[in-house]
Structure 1
Amino acid sequence: MVAETHSSSTGFVIRVPETIYQEMAAHVLAGYPNEACGALGSVDGTVVKNYPAQNVAEHPDDFSIISERDIVRIFNDIDAYDGEMIYYHSHPISEAYPSARDREWAKRSGYLYIIFSLQYQPEPPYARVFRIDPRGEVTEGHIERLPSA
């Protein structure tokens, strides 16, 4: 399932509760200097659950892959509440923008991608969200950080 989003004049919007945003930021910082990865479950364009995952890539310093076992567990859980998946990962030493390899992988899946950059440490990581179409074309959306309930 591809995450439902809401349109804005600048593209699409994904709403992320601040507590989940901070969980993701802590997860990608803990993975440094390697890339860290995980998934989010969303309903109607609002993130409802974070699924931090272990990066099982052969070269985790410059690529991220969620294990097959974890991805099945995540899909099953998201399906249970009829949600949509959003993939996230970090770029330890570069901008929060899809690399050529990110675009190649993302265009196969159709999922939204949230990318965190850690390049300005000790400043906190920052995130951007993207939709990558089957041709590899990138559209940036907006992350709306919601106050925690």
Structure 2
Amino acid sequence: MVAEAFVVRIPRTMYSEMVAHVTAGYPNEACGLLASKDGRVVKNYPTPNAAEHPDDFSEISPQDLLRIANDIDTYDGEMFAYYHSHPRSEAYPSARDIEWARRNGLYYIIFSLQYHPEPPYARVFSIQADGSVSEGKLELTD
């Protein structure tokens, strides 16, 4: 059975903010969260990378997660997508990405900066509890 394709729509200005954030983090990985309300992406939360080894992994600190969750509660939204960069490799989930993602149910948007200083490219994935990975389509909206 083939998984049904999915589309993640992000406002163009928000996508530009995400690109600026992950580019500024180079040569380390950079990360953040997107929140949605009523199925629409409404807010970008760029965060510092709290991973012990930010050159090859990204992680949002518990304090930042709590701050973001509290803010999302103020407008009755929900966490929608985790995004991060791969400074030296393609935009595809690593084994460690899959292990983390299979537990949280968020979309994963991965930016590749492997051709830096060229602008990064991004891909979006859905990672299921069993570790299966399916790729969706990113669409930028006005």
Matched, 1:109 2:104: yes
Match of 2:19 in 1: 25
Distance 2:76 2:127 in 1: 22
How many residues are aligned here? 139
Distance 2:4 2:136 in 1: 7
Distance 1:105 1:48 in 2: 24
CA distances 1:14-62 after superposition (whole Å, capped 9, x unpaired)? 1101110000000000100000000011123321111000001110000
Decide which moves more: 100-109 or 72-81: 72-81
Runs of 4 or more, structure 1, over 4 Å off, are: none
Matched, 1:92 2:87: yes
Distance apart, 1:122 and its partner CA: 2.3
The 3-state SS of whatever aligns with 1:16 is strand
Match of 2:32 in 1: 38
* TM-score scaled by length of structure 2: 0.93
Matched, 1:127 2:142: no
Identity %: 69
Match of 1:58 in 2: 52
Listed as ranges, the gaps of 5+ residues in structure 1 are: 1-8
* TM-score scaled by length of structure 1: 0.89
Change (3 A) 1:42 1:34: same
- What's the Cα RMSD here? 1.4
Is the 1:131–1:138 contact (alpha carbons within 8 Å) kept by the matching residues of 2?
yes
